[in-house]
Structure 1
Amino acid sequence: MSFYTSLSGMRNAETDLRVISNNIANAETAGFKKSNAQFFDLVATGGSTDPRTTPGIGAAVSAITQDFGLGQLEQTGRVLDIAINGDGFITTANAISGDITFTRNGNLQLVASGELQDASGDLVQAFAVDAAGNPTTTVPSNVVVPTVNAAGSALASISIDDRGVVGATYSDGTTEPVAKIALASFPATGGLRPIGQSKWEATADSGTAQFGEPGIGNFGRVFSGALERSNVDLAEEMVSLLTAQRNFQANARAIDTATAISQTVLNLQR
């Protein structure tokens, strides 16, 4: 039985190492959120078992949880970079399937068609606005910046202010608000499913996305010209890496010891 107990410990240490390695690999990934492996003990017992003589039969992974703590906000000076100081997520839609996903990576870009996209090419969702930049709807949709204004002047540049308003400036010097970035929050953020590319999708555990404006409630403020770095602390991860390695080595040594004891017992029976 001691072999299986130590084997479970080695498997858990391997899982812990995989989680830590993924954190370290994404230390420079914008908007990345680190994960932590959680474990629970396994006990072989019954109703008539004396609890004072129950040694246990190892451990197993109970959950791999995500830490959505805020990462460092880094100034980039790029007008289409935005960072969220709060719990909100930028909402995006796949250009082909329309599937809705959520991200903290605010590295946005404008394409020739006037659509505002994130770093992976998904369409950024925002509220339609009036001439003052105030939302006129509560349902977000794709951001499409007109490449020519009503006077026939071509688009010169766009910007995103700290209210999340996307503004378009044209060659005749006029500036018009186009949309207001829609942020999403969830009843249980930890229930979001990571799908890669610093993106998540909603699940039954996270609850349905609730959309709102930047700076209102717990959606968070938008910082223009900045990106949120990964919340991975390399020093902390290195300590965790060493701990997981020692756990693996200790369980391997326990197997060696159990093997030696078993061999001794077999020799005594000869």
Structure 2
Amino acid sequence: MSFYTSLSGLKAAQTDLGAISNNLANVGSTGFKRSRAQFGDLFASSPTQSTKMTAGQGVRLNGVVQQFTQGTLEASDKTLDLGIAGEGFFVVRGAPPRAEVTYTRNGAFGVDANRNVVDTIGSKLQVLPVDANGNATSTALSDAQDLVLPANSPTDPTATLANVSIGIDGLVTATYADGSTQMLGKVAMASFTAVEGLRPVGDAHWQSTGESGAALINTATNGPLGSIRSGALERANVDVTEELVALISAQRNFQANAKAIETAKNMTQAVININ
């Protein structure tokens, strides 16, 4: 029994080492959120058995839970580099035919050949329509649209795009060479009832699940969504010192369980050698 108990400890320590290693590997990944392995003890006994005479049966993995704490915002020189100071997520839509909606904290956006504002994996940033005062006219995901940067002013085709600005509330404004401006929409933001239930799909992107609940869509500066910082990117929320300490602890845990297995083996061998 002690062999299998220690074996479960070895597997748990190995999982812990894997989570820590993944955190350290992604220190430089924009918008990355660290993970932590959570464990629980295994215990079983029959109804007629005294629990005072029974030891536990080892440990099991309860889950690898992501920690959605705020990462440090690092300044950049690009207007389309967006950082979130708050709990919100950018809403992006993949290429057709699937046009899959995902949520990300990676605000390293650029412009593709069709003048769509896209993230690092080519998904298009979604914006909500606005009225003449810059207020969102809808917060429904179905009304969100791709953010496309126009090449010329809609009122004067000879006036080219001169500048794009994004406010802390996510309002995207285009300025043209003739001095005219055009509001292109407000960046759509999402929040979730149980953010730990989101399903990671890689590249700092997540999908909603039954555990996370449906996305609550709104614009920045509303509730817990936070504000948008143009010209900034969110670094990974990984503390290297903390992870290295946890790495040492997991390593010693692995060694201790390995030693327990070796001891159990020696005891069994001693019994076998009794004449």
User: TM-score by structure 2 length?
Assistant: 0.94
Give the Cα–Cα distance (whole angstroms) in 1 for the partners of residues 169 and 36 of structure 2: 34
Residue 164 (structure 2) pairs with residue 164 (structure 1): no
Deviation at 1:26, TM superposition (A): 0.7
1:14 Cα deviation (Å)?
A: 0.5
Which moved further from structure 2: 8-17 or 46-55?
46-55
SS in 2 for 1:137: coil
Which residue of 1 is the match for residue 112 of structure 2? Answer: 111
Kindly provide the CA deviation profile for residues 178-237 of structure 1, in whole angstroms up to 9, marking residues without a partner as x. 111010001111100000010000000000001111001111111111111111111110
The answer to whether the 8 A contact 1:163-1:222 is kept is yes
Alpha-carbon RMSD: 1.2
The DSSP-based 3-state class of the residue aligned with 1:65 is strand
The count of corresponding residues between Structure 1 and Structure 2 is: 269
Match of 1:259 in 2: 265
After superposing the two structures, state which structure 1 stretch, 17-26 or 47-56, moved more: 47-56
Letter in 2 for 1:196: G
Map residues 79-118 of structure 1 onto 2, 5 A cutoff. Answer: 79-96=79-96, 97-118=98-119
5 Å matches for 1:27-42? 27-42=27-42
Between the aligned residues of both structures, percent identity stands at 45
Name the CA distance, whole Å, in 1 between partners of 2:139 and 2:190: 12
Cα distance in 2 for residues equivalent to 1:157 and 1:221: 21
CA contact (8 A) 1:91 1:125 kept: yes
State the SS of the aligned residue for 1:79.
coil
Q: How far apart in 2 are the matches of 1:219 and 1:257? A: 54
Structure 1 counterpart SS, 2:175 = strand
> Which structure 1 segments of 5+ residues have no match?
none
For the residue of structure 2 that corresponds to 1:3, the secondary structure is helix
Per-residue CA deviation, residues 23-67 of structure 1 (Å, 9 max, x unaligned), is: 111111111111110111112311111211111111110111111
218, 222, 230: which one pairs with 1:216?
222
State the Cα distance separating 1:259 from its structure 2 match: 0.9
Contact 1:127 1:136 in 2 (8 A): yes
SS in structure 2 of the partner of residue 218 of structure 1: helix
Query: How big is the shift at 1:255?
Result: 0.8
How far does residue 172 in structure 1 lie from its aligned partner after superposition? 2.0
Amino acid in the other structure paired with 1:131 = A
Contact 1:132 1:177 in 2 (8 A): no
- 1:74·1:226 contact (CA, 8 Å) conserved in 2? yes
Give the drift of 1:135.
1.7
The answer as to whether partners of 1:4 and 1:58 remain within 8 angstroms in 2 is yes
Alpha-carbon offset, residue 111 of structure 1 = 2.4
Amino acid at match of 1:219: L
Which deviates more, 142-151 or 32-41? 142-151
* Corresponding letter in the other structure for 1:31: G
Ranges in structure 2 where 5+ consecutive residues have no aligned partner: none
**Matched ranges for 1:1-270 at <5 A:** 1-96=1-96, 97-139=98-140, 140-149=144-153, 150-152=155-157, 153-268=159-274, 270=275
The Cα of 1:145 is off from its aligned counterpart by 2.2
Q: Which TM-score applies when normalising by structure 1?
A: 0.96
CA distance in 1, matches of 2:204, 2:173: 26
What whole-Å deviation, never above 9, does each CA across 1:96-136 have from its counterpart, x for those lacking one? 22110000011111223221111211010111123332222
Moved more, 129-138 or 99-108: 129-138
CA distance in 1, matches of 2:172, 2:111: 11
